[in-house]
Chain A
Amino acid sequence: MSDTTRKPDVLVIDYGVGNHRSVTNALERLGYSYAVSHKKEDIQKARAYILPGVGAFEEAMLNLKKRDIIEVLRREVVEKKKPLLGICLGMQVLAEDSIEGGLHQGLGFIPGHVVRIPAASVRVPHVGWNELMVYRSEPLFASVPKGARFYFDHSFYFQTEKEYIAAACSYGEEITAAVQKDNIYGVQFHPEKSQTSGLRLLRAFMEHTKN
């Protein structure tokens, strides 16, 4: 539950795509306080962000524009370095652009492009529980046991430089599973729907935001 007397631990940005319920439900299970909003003043006040998202890239960017929150997010996250975790589509919009449904510009918080998973040898969308190859375990994967599986459900993925890839999974070829640049994090899978492994990851992010 949101506590009005105290600043919530995290702001879940509600921009009309997908269900933020499962994210807030997971936060509640872990015992963190949160607020859900898309208002500029709330974004300014918050100390950390979760950007969820299920849907199509174009719709997501359109909704962020309609709510006029791109600039305030850029200021708080890129300039003031407040931590942000993008989930699934919320991770993809961090990229420079995406080819989903035509070429669309993204937020450009992390260099890279969203491209379609090559369907040469695998079925697309990539649906189900996959194992990760973790390249940077701090901070997100520090308490996730080796061989843990996470739930993926996507047709496009974030193609970026090796230095920004925190984890990848194998699906036909290597697919980016998590990105990380300074205070900005993104996961392609759904930690809020990945049982205890996912909860561990969310807790790691939340604990990290307190530093």
Chain B
Amino acid sequence: MLSKRIIASLIVKDGIVVQSVGFKKYLPIGSPEIAVEFLNQWGADEIVVVDIEASRENRTLDLGLLARLADKSMVPLTVGGGINSVETIRQLIRMGADKVVINRAAIEHPELIHEAARIFGNQCVVVSIDAKEVGEGRYEAFTDSGRTGTGKDPVEVARSCAAQGAGEIFIRSIDRDGSKKGFDTELIRRVSEAVDIPVVAAGGCGHPQHIADAFQNGHADAVAVGNSFHFTEHSVTIAKAFLKSDFPIRLDTYATYAHTTFDDAGRLAKQDDAVLEKLRFEYHPKEVI
């Protein structure tokens, strides 16, 4: 059975990973290379790296940086930011991107999706839609890191992108971004029901239960989590251990966190003293393949 994907999302600004809050505030996290190395080891199913200034500065993610990230990632790497032509996609793929994620150009020049899908296959072309709630139950798609409204319903955008040949839709709620309040399951469900390509939920995850909600109520095929994966050791593995009993999840890291319990914040709960006393600390050498 196909696993539900847990995707780690990295927002890059000025060459460093940042935490994004509502697309307005950005707090520095650290080096992208180190982030990719850890997320890869902690069992992320995929890593997405988006340079949020690239589009405005008319460039893409730094190709040298991309090559270094690709070498550290043994899971698929999706790259976004400033993609506006087939040529930029070709360069990114050559430097190690497995897929590209297109945001602004997908809305302004939808024919790029069609062209890219014809050359690189539609599995390679991911479209990311940023949406804001603009009225009671009404959503609008935004571009330019949430600055520019398009006047279009994200469901319509998703539908037309899928028709052009997009292989996946990333749907991100701007309102929930960095809020830790959980995914906007209503928005995700609407998009998910409108298209028959995989849909990835993004924006707002603060607890592994939110991921479960996105799968169950949002009908998402995957989730992209940014901020809440940055600050805890083994964050991805722990989230997966939480979800493992209810969803098909790939969990094959050394530490599986089986038989652990969680507190209200989704962090590991302290084990009984009796259990802790029995714990043995062993050294595991790096696995030989």
A residues whose Cβ falls under 8 Å from a Cβ of B: 17-19, 21-22, 25-26, 29-30, 54-56, 59, 89, 101, 119, 123-131, 148-149, 151-155, 170-171, 190, 192-200, 203
Contact = CB atoms under 8 A, between A and B. Distances in A.
B123 interface: yes
30 contacts: A19-B93, A21-B67, A21-B96, A54-B121, A54-B123, A55-B121, A89-B121, A101-B118, A123-B196, A125-B168, A126-B2, A127-B167, A127-B198, A128-B3, A128-B221, A128-B222, A129-B3, A129-B5, A131-B1, A149-B3, A149-B250, A149-B252, A154-B123, A171-B2, A193-B76, A195-B40, A195-B74, A196-B74, A196-B252, A196-B289
B33 interface: no
Contacts of B246: none
A37 to B, nearest CB: 16
Contacts of A203: 289
B124 A55 contact: yes
Nearest to B287: A196
Contacts of A198: 74
Contact of B97 (A19, A25, A55, A151): A19
Given A19-B93, A170-B1, A197 B124 contact: no
A123 to B, nearest CB: 5
B98 interface: yes
A185 B230 CA distance: 40
B247 interface: no
A153 B120 CA distance: 12
B119 A59 contact: yes
B93 A153 contact: no
Contacts of B120: 17-18, 54-56
B265 to A, nearest CB: 28
Contacts of B109: none
B289 A123 contact: no
Contacts of A195: 40, 43, 74-75, 252
A115 to B, nearest CB: 15
Given A19-B93, A130-B3, A55 B119 contact: yes
Contact of A30 (B73, B197, B252, B289): B289
A22 B74 CA distance: 8
A129 B97 contact: no
Nearest to B90: A16
Interface string B91-115: 0011111110000000000000000
Given A19-B93, A125-B167, A199-B74, A56 B5 contact: no
Nearest to B197: A123
Nearest to A150: B250
B196 A124 contact: yes
B289 A199 contact: yes
Contact of B197 (A21, A56, A125, A190): A125
B2 A21 contact: no
B118 A125 contact: no
Contacts of B74: 26, 29, 192-196, 198-199
Nearest to A131: B1
Contacts of A192: 74
A193 B3 contact: no
Contact of A128 (B45, B96, B121, B122): B45
A56 B45 contact: no
Contacts of A30: 289
B233 interface: no
A128 B5 contact: yes
A30 B117 CA distance: 33
Contact of A22 (B5, B70, B197, B198): B70
Contact of A155 (B93, B118, B167, B221): B167
Given A171-B2, A203-B289, A25 B70 contact: yes
Interface in B175-211: 196-199
Contacts of A130: 1-3
Nearest to A119: B196
A200 B67 contact: no
B175 to A, nearest CB: 26
Contacts of B94: 19, 21
Nearest to B168: A127
Contact of B96 (A22, A129, A200): A22
Contacts of A125: 122-123, 167-168, 197-198
Contacts of B156: none
Nearest to B40: A195
Nearest to A147: B252
A201 B75 CA distance: 15
